[in-house]
């Protein structure tokens, strides 16, 4: 998630009752990113430089596995709430769709039998 802001922003996964069941959020900075800082909410500050457009970046990491609410679901929707840490009245919400990776099995593709 990328946003233009001169103030720190708070990124939160909406409706994440079970910790890390919907994935995790962390900052882009290697100095700030560690396993302990990855959770369902993170406050990210803009970089301290003279750029014309200060960008605030939060990294979303999907869960290793997830279960659909029903067998017919093709994807899971993750909602991320973003608010200005200094002015909570300035906020927005964005959605991500997670799709399962299809698995294709081909029998004998690497067999040693050649015609």
Q: How many CB atoms lie within 10 A of CB 6?
A: 11
Residue 111 domain flag: no
Residue 109 domain flag: no
Q: What's the mean per-residue pLDDT of the chain?
A: 76
**Per-residue b or e along 13-33, where b marks 16 or more CB atoms closer than 10 Å to that residue's CB:** beebeeeeebbbbbbeeeeee
pTM of the full predicted structure?
Answer: 0.69
pLDDT tens-digit map of 6-41: 889 999 988 755 555 788 888 877 444 444 445 788
Residue 32 domain flag: yes
With bands split at pLDDT 50, 70 and 90, how would you rate the model's confidence at 66? low
Total domain count, the chain: 1
């Amino acid at each position: 998630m990328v946003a233009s802001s001169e103030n720190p922003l708070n990124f939160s996964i909406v409706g994440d009752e079970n910790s890390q069941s919907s994935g995790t959020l962390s900052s882009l900075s290697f100095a700030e990113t560690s396993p302990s800082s990855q959770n369902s909410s993170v406050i990210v500050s803009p970089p301290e430089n003279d750029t014309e457009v200060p960008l605030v970046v939060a990294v979303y990491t999907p869960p290793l596995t997830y279960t659909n609410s029903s067998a017919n679901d093709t994807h899971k929707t993750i909602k991320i709430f973003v608010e200005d840490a200094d002015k909570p009245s300035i906020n927005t919400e964005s959605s991500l769709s997670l799709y399962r990776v299809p698995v294709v099995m081909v029998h004998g593709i690497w067999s040693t039998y050649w015609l």
